Structure 1
Amino acid sequence: MDSHSPSPSLLQFKSAQKTQSGEDHAAIAHGVPKDWKFWCIIFSLALSVLLTAVEFTAIGAALPTIIRDLQGLQFIWVGSAYALGSTALVPFCGGLTQIIGRRPIMLSALFLFALGSTICGAASSMNMLIAGRAVQGLGAGAITSSVQIMLSDLVTLRERGTFSGLMALSWAVGGGVGPVIGGSLAQSGHCADLNLPICAFNATLVLLFMRLRTPHATLREKLSKIDFIGNLLITGSTTSIVIGLTWGGVQFPWSSASVLVPLVLGFVGLVAFVIYEFYFCKPPTAPILFRLDWTGTSGYLQNFVMAVVLASLSYWYAVFFEACKDRSPSGAGVDIFGLSYSISLIAIIAGVVVKKTGKYLAPTYIGWALMVVGAGLLTTLRADSSIAKSVGFQLVIGGGVGIIYVVSLFPILASPLRMALYVFSRNFGYIWGVTVGGAILQNELKKNLPASFLAQFPHGVQLAFSAIPTIPTLEQPLKAEVQNTFGEALKVVWQVVLGVSSAGFVSSLGMRQLQLHTNIDEDWGREDIPIPIERRPSSDMEMLPANGNLSTRESPAPA
């Protein structure tokens, strides 16, 4: 044998190394292995989503009782503070997860959420409750952003629909039991919070199993990638808009400076954010936004609109059953089960369909058609409408929301910064759904509630809203007048939902069908899965049009 020839043992070693590399490569090309550790991570993510859903939806059924007990004048802020807080930290999360890793951010988010829950449980005034809800929202926003980012680390884009469906199921379970839990606690006057032990259990799962890689770089290099000015602009702008919408028509007239100034400053701030990102910021908070074609932009718009509709339904549908159907807070929570579980079931089905076919255009159009039809049906509801109608209509619009909840992701490329922007657009939509719906209710009730009823509330319609639990005890014909007024006020909310849903359908037109990749970014993912020697392109580079050519907005992957 030639002395320079490789020995049999060396050849065997190289062959084994090549085989192992190929197996690892194949594992990454089709997502990480779905072993028990993987499912423990997925369970912890789903549990995190459930926590945020319970808190987001529980307040709707309990709100009238809370207002009555705490005598608060700004009840919309109980919902708006949570939605606003959940949006504020999202732009930072993409950068922060790049700097210190996924797990520390998730643990910090759970801590903030638990802290906010503690403040809410101990609240003795409306201001303290609003503060607690804002802290909860900060944690919830970081949780939601981290969940989507980590899904992009663990599963391929084509698989994402199925796992987004699982997250939607978690949301639906939380959204379903949330109103019942909130209503039951409100009825009993018990302020104990179940979130703390669940947060502790979830944090333990995160510590044990969520061991994900973080690319190596100096702290200075990582910090240079965070757009502090852009984040401050977008956070300040959204806060200013929420203030104007919340005060408008109730605390101050719409034409007053107290309303117009925050609204103008907010929208000017959003324009300044776009200009700053486009011309001055390197790197920008939203770098992908300015390189997207209509398909990608449409994904963000649809995600935003879906969130407006979902928040409006989650917060204000229970009011219909309490105010118009003499339901208790917990009973109203049960009555909206149709909405919650139609969302989850259809979301899972939509995810499986996209995974099997690789196509998302047809499900998108079906989803928006269901939402438009469902919203149209809701506008026909009156105080004397049958329970069968009010429950059945939920199934139609809930099915549409479930489809769009999942498929709006696919037109968007799935890097951490893109996912942070994706979550931001969704949470920003939640703000509009809660705030606009509440503003409509306040204004309509202020104009149309019977004078003899309003006279009982010298502080205004905010406290009149707290009278919902007492409506069953009113004498006729006052009871019927009050119930009809609430029914007509909610009709206006559903008309706005119909208009918004129609806008979402229009925004979906003109999208292209893109090829969904079947690999994940090797820089991230589980620490216990070796990185193969032969590196593949990152997930950002694998989104190709259906014709196989690279999109004009992406660079070709390196050889």
Structure 2
Amino acid sequence: MRSEQTDGSSPAQSEFEVSKNISSAEQLPVLEAIDSREQVEVRETFQAPSRGFRFWIIFLAICVCLFLSALEYSAVSTALPTIVHDLHGADFVWVASAYALAATALLPATGGIAQVFGRRPCMLLSLGMFALGSALCGAAKNMNWLIAARTVQGAGGGGILAMSSIVISDLVPLRERPIYNSFIGLTWAIAAGIGPVVGGSLAQQGRWRWLFYLNLPLTAVAAALIIIFLNVKTPRGSFREKLARMDWIGNGLVIGSASSVVIALTWGGVRYPWVSVHTLTPLILGLIGLVFFLIYEVNYAKNALIPAALISNRTSLSGYLQTFIAPILTFTVLYFIPIYYQACWGSSPTRSGVLLFGLVLPCGVFLLVTGASIAITKRYRPQLWLGWALYVAGMGVLSTLHVGSTIARATGGLALLGFASAILYASTYYPVLAPLPVAQNAPALALFAFFRSFAGVWGVTLGTAVLQTQLARRLPADFVAQFPGGVSIAYSVIPSIPALEEPFRTEVRAAFADSLKVLWEVMIGVAGLGLLASVLMKGLPLHTQVDEAWGMEEEKGRRPDQGDIELQNQPRY
């Protein structure tokens, strides 16, 4: 695309200015061709708008919502052995996987629901489901009840994550978003930091149910702020018309396929051998189903959950791959380093939560540093490459831990992973959105949240599969024989390991340490895949505009229909 330069501007500037006025389909290849390493600097003036009181209250409400989700998710990791012990359960992996599965299965639909029904109703629905699930978790009488309640809670938690990103993208342009995302990430880091301590403390006192009940008042505060202040434009149309615009076939495919994959990952190596028909059948069918889901969405769906433009350029594709891989590593560490502390060192749940500060404190600091660096340099690739290198190094340090390792070595490895987690959490957002027009923010961010949540499923279940497969080989046979449920039950006796008689105590601790060593070695390979995926992305300019169709309603001088959006003029999702 060339034009005569009559105003003295650089060719790169002209190309970028023209690209703003072309269609979305034409814009993608233009933006993909602009590589920050080769282009002349785009001389574009941009001044951040001032933010009023209502914006900051909305931002506060979003932070409260995310604090809820992160606090609950991270707190369960240290309380899980105690919960499993009290409820006499065996399928402990589903306490985590049910939450992540429900969030994942419904996330692709979140963008469509928000686009058709509006932002505020979708956010309130998510908060309501999260509160209901929390209340049911607190009242659980057995493991089946708890797993079902976690499913409801996960559906709400996933919606909260997606809607928080969508609302921020409606109100803040991408160029200005690094600082806001840093504070959102800091909120998540603070909640993730105190969550294990809160969970461990409540579990140690036999009050783990309050881990879920504490969500209720915070949810009420967040909902009240959303109701009062989140007055954004809403689509018009009847409820029936809006339902007709949803992609029911796509939702059915992704829910069924994701569930099939998680079932296979949960059973493999624990209930059935990895090569058995019980494991391979749901795994293969689930993966094939996900492939068909993508093919259907791109080529046949009239109300597509995933428009083809989202994955048809290499920069967004690289961003999505990195978004999927990074949480696998983070959730693996969050869930299994407390197991190392409790099983190998004999730490209490509270102490294992405190020791996680080695991961969380560096993460909080680097979230702000990363956001500031992107805001100043307008680049995101150097940060991502550094993050992946730190992930490889951090997992390498963890792979050297054994029963007698020092706190300094374990904390050093966690610090490296904290830096890496912060950088990846704050940065994968930008290669996903930079090549896309702002009108596609909602489906793009819903898919972004889907990959991040689905990675949580893989992180927890894959980690559990590796750990239990290794434990089955390494635990003393006489010890495992004491439990009819095998290794699954053996996991639930972690709080009792310090009271075991010798030589069982030393042998069991060594078995856990050696099994976790294999897990960290597997994660080194996963981090290497993330580094390779990051090579695909290009460095593109960050948008300076927002989608005006979803801005806040005017407080004064507003016509009765000014805040509404014609349903028939909206993209179909």
Instruction: With the length of structure 2 as denominator, give the TM-score of the two structures.
Output: 0.85
1:321 aligns with 2:347: no
1:341 is paired with a residue of what secondary structure? helix
Give the length in aligned residue pairs.
505
CA deviations over 1:208-232 (Å, ceiling 9, x no partner): 1111112446666654543221121
Q: 1:300 is matched with which residue: 308, 320, 343?
A: 320
1:457 is paired with a residue of what secondary structure? coil
Partner Cα distance (1:291, 1:76) in 2 = 32
Partner Cα distance (2:176, 2:243) in 1 = 32
CA deviations over 1:352-407 (Å, ceiling 9, x no partner): 11111111111111111111111111111112110111112111111011111111
Residue of structure 2 in register with 1:108 after alignment: 125
CA deviations over 1:449-471 (Å, ceiling 9, x no partner): 11232122122111111111111
Residue of structure 1 in register with 2:177 after alignment: 160
Q: Contact 2:311–2:317 (CA<8 Å) still a contact in 1? A: no
Residue of structure 1 in register with 2:285 after alignment: 265
Residue of structure 2 in register with 1:33 after alignment: 50
- CA change 1:30–1:154 in 2 (3 A) is farther
Of 364-373 and 252-261, more deviation after overlay is shown by: 252-261
Residue of structure 1 in register with 2:473 after alignment: 447
Partner Cα distance (1:154, 1:30) in 2 = 15
Partner Cα distance (1:531, 1:52) in 2 = 38
Residue of structure 1 in register with 2:391 after alignment: 371
- CA change 1:406–1:314 in 2 (3 A) is same
Partner Cα distance (1:32, 1:530) in 2 = 19
Q: 2:195 is matched with which residue: 178, 181, 201?
A: 178
Partner Cα distance (2:468, 2:311) in 1 = 41
- CA change 1:63–1:70 in 2 (3 A) is same
Q: In the TM superposition, what are the counterparts of 1:393-432 in structure 2 within 5 Å?
A: 393-413=413-433, 415-432=441-458
Q: Contact 1:30–1:520 (CA<8 Å) still a contact in 2? A: no
- CA change 1:32–1:112 in 2 (3 A) is farther
Partner Cα distance (1:140, 1:267) in 2 = 24
Shift of 1:32: 5.7
Q: Contact 1:30–1:518 (CA<8 Å) still a contact in 2? A: no
Shift of 1:289: 5.0
1:202 aligns with 2:222: yes
- CA change 1:146–1:30 in 2 (3 A) is farther
Q: Contact 2:95–2:150 (CA<8 Å) still a contact in 1? A: yes
Could you list the runs of 5+ residues in structure 1 that have no partner in the other structure?
Answer: 1-28, 533-559
Q: In the TM superposition, what are the counterparts of 1:526-545 in structure 2 within 5 Å?
A: 526-528=552-554
Partner Cα distance (1:220, 1:290) in 2 = 28
- State, as a whole percentage, how many aligned pairs show the same letter: 44
Q: Contact 1:169–1:347 (CA<8 Å) still a contact in 2? A: yes
Partner Cα distance (2:556, 2:383) in 1 = 36
Partner Cα distance (2:302, 2:91) in 1 = 40
1:357 aligns with 2:407: no
Q: In the TM superposition, what are the counterparts of 1:497-508 in structure 2 within 5 Å?
A: 497-508=523-534
Of 176-185 and 418-427, more deviation after overlay is shown by: 176-185
What amino acid sits opposite 1:297 in the alignment? L
Partner Cα distance (1:468, 1:346) in 2 = 33
Partner Cα distance (2:328, 2:491) in 1 = 22
2:125 is paired with a residue of what secondary structure? helix
Partner Cα distance (1:153, 1:323) in 2 = 46
Residue of structure 1 in register with 2:571 after alignment: none
Q: In the TM superposition, what are the counterparts of 1:68-79 in structure 2 within 5 Å?
A: 68-79=85-96
- CA change 1:31–1:41 in 2 (3 A) is farther
Q: Contact 1:156–1:518 (CA<8 Å) still a contact in 2? A: yes
Q: 1:461 is matched with which residue: 481, 487, 504?
A: 487
Partner Cα distance (1:164, 1:225) in 2 = 31
1:239 aligns with 2:259: yes
1:298 is paired with a residue of what secondary structure? helix
Q: Contact 1:154–1:525 (CA<8 Å) still a contact in 2? A: yes
What amino acid sits opposite 1:313 in the alignment? V
Partner Cα distance (1:333, 1:75) in 2 = 19
CA deviations over 1:470-506 (Å, ceiling 9, x no partner): 1112233322211111111111211121111110000
Q: Contact 1:323–1:468 (CA<8 Å) still a contact in 2? A: yes
CA deviations over 1:141-192 (Å, ceiling 9, x no partner): 1100100101101111122222221121111111111111111221111123
Q: Contact 2:132–2:153 (CA<8 Å) still a contact in 1? A: yes
Q: 1:97 is matched with which residue: 103, 114, 131?
A: 114
1:81 aligns with 2:101: no
Shift of 1:448: 0.9
Q: Contact 2:117–2:235 (CA<8 Å) still a contact in 1? A: no
- CA change 1:290–1:54 in 2 (3 A) is closer
Q: Contact 2:109–2:251 (CA<8 Å) still a contact in 1? A: yes
CA deviations over 1:53-90 (Å, ceiling 9, x no partner): 11211111111111111111111000000111111211
Residue of structure 2 in register with 1:515 after alignment: 541
Partner Cα distance (1:89, 1:231) in 2 = 7
Instruction: Please tell me the root mean square deviation across aligned C-alpha atoms, in Å.
Output: 1.9
What amino acid sits opposite 1:126 in the alignment? M
Instruction: With the length of structure 1 as denominator, give the TM-score of the two structures.
Output: 0.87
What amino acid sits opposite 1:396 in the alignment? L
- CA change 1:231–1:501 in 2 (3 A) is same
Q: Contact 2:165–2:445 (CA<8 Å) still a contact in 1? A: yes
2:550 is paired with a residue of what secondary structure? coil
Partner Cα distance (1:529, 1:38) in 2 = 13
Partner Cα distance (1:123, 1:148) in 2 = 31
Partner Cα distance (2:447, 2:188) in 1 = 20
Partner Cα distance (1:526, 1:341) in 2 = 35
Shift of 1:439: 1.2
Q: Contact 1:102–1:150 (CA<8 Å) still a contact in 2? A: yes
CA deviations over 1:223-244 (Å, ceiling 9, x no partner): 4543221121111101100001
What amino acid sits opposite 1:453 in the alignment? F
Q: Contact 2:197–2:354 (CA<8 Å) still a contact in 1? A: yes
Shift of 1:122: 0.6
Q: Contact 2:344–2:512 (CA<8 Å) still a contact in 1? A: yes
Of 251-260 and 457-466, more deviation after overlay is shown by: 251-260
Partner Cα distance (1:524, 1:390) in 2 = 47
1:42 is paired with a residue of what secondary structure? helix
Shift of 1:31: 6.0
CA deviations over 1:83-119 (Å, ceiling 9, x no partner): 1111121111111111221111111111111111111
Residue of structure 1 in register with 2:66 after alignment: 49
Q: In the TM superposition, what are the counterparts of 1:141-152 in structure 2 within 5 Å?
A: 141-152=158-169
- CA change 1:112–1:32 in 2 (3 A) is farther
Q: Contact 2:108–2:305 (CA<8 Å) still a contact in 1? A: yes
2:182 is paired with a residue of what secondary structure? helix
